[in-house]
Amino acid sequence: MRGSNVCKALSIMMAVVCAATVAQAAVWSKSNVQFLYGQSYERGSGESDSNVMTLEHNSGWEYGDNYFFVDFANFDRDSVNLYGEWCTRLSLFKIANKLSGSEISAGPVADVLAVGQMDLGDGFRAYMAGVGAVFSIPYVNYFSVDVKYRDNPMADGNTYQVTPVWDVPFSIGPVRFDFTGFLDWTGREGDQPVSILTAPQLLLDVGNFWGAPDRLYAGTEFQFWTEKFVFTEDGIDYAEEKCLQAMVKWIF
C-alpha cells in the first residue's frame, strides 16, 4: 500500500474509533459558535469582504481527545463556501500509565499522543497522521505541537505539517482576556509551495462583566496565510492573505 493510502487509512480509522468511544464515554466537552467579518480575504479574483460562521467542538475521553470545526463562509449570501477539519488524538502516556500501573513523568511534556486528521472543503481534501505533544507551561492554559505526515490527493507526492496550538488567558485588573490561536506550517507537495497559516485571536471576556465568565467573548482575529490555495478563472493560483477580522464567540 502506498504511503498516501496508509496516511488516509490511519486518519479515518482513528477518527472512527475515537468518535465511537467518545460518544459513549466523554469526560469533558466544550462547543462554541463564532461570527467573523473581514474585508481582505483572498478569493482568487482579488480581495473581498466576507462573513464567516464557525461551529467548533472540543471533547475528551479517558484516553484522548477530539476536535473539529466547520466554517460557513459567506453564510449570508447565495453561495456558501464550506470547510472543515477533524483531528482526533490518542494519549500514549495514558495508555502506558494504564498498562504499567504507574504515572509517566517527562518534565514539561504532559502527554504524547498519536494523531489522525482529515481536512475537507470545496474542491479540497487532505489526510494526516502523526504524533503530538502537550506541554505544561506556567501561566499558559494550553500549548501543544503536532507533527504530521500529510497527503493531499490533488497534489503529487506527500509532505509534512507542523501545528502548534496555544491558549493564554490573562487579566488587566478586573478585565479578562484570552490570547489563543494556531499555526499550520505545511511543506511543499507536488506543485504546491510551502505554506504558513496562522490565526491568532485576542478576545475580551464580555460575559465576565455580568458574572458569566468564559461564555461570551468579543475581539479580533488576524489571519495570515502565505501561498493560500485559491481558484481563479485560469485555474489554481496562490496568494498571500492578511486579514484582520472582527469576532464574537459564544461558548455553550
CATH code at position 141: 2.40.230.20
Average pLDDT of the residues in 215-222: 98
Please indicate whether residue 128 or residue 22 has the higher confidence score (pLDDT): 128
In tens, the pLDDT along 83-126 reads: 999 999 999 999 999 899 888 879 999 999 999 999 998 878 99
Instruction: Provide Rg for the chain, Cα atoms.
Output: 19
In the predicted model, is pLDDT for residue 251 greater than 90?
A: yes
- 205 or 10: which carries more pLDDT confidence? 205
C-beta neighbour count of 148 within 10 angstroms: 25
The Cα–Cα gap between 50 and 45 comes to 14
Residue 204 binned pLDDT confidence (cut-offs 50, 70, 90):
very high
Strand partners, 9: none
Cell of 32: 462554541
pLDDT exceeds 80 at position 61: yes
Structure pTM?
Answer: 0.86
- For residue 139, the enclosing domain spans 3-251
- In this structure, the number of other CB atoms found within 10 A of the CB of residue 19 comes to 15
- Which percentage of the chain shows pLDDT scores above 90? 65
Q: Helices (H) and strands (E) in the chain — how many of each?
A: 2, 13
Say if CB 214 and CB 27 are below 8 A apart. no
Query: What band does 1 get if pLDDT is binned at 50, 70 and 90?
Result: very low
* Grid coordinates given for 137: 507551561
Percent residues over pLDDT 70 in the chain: 85
Quote the number of domains for the chain: 1
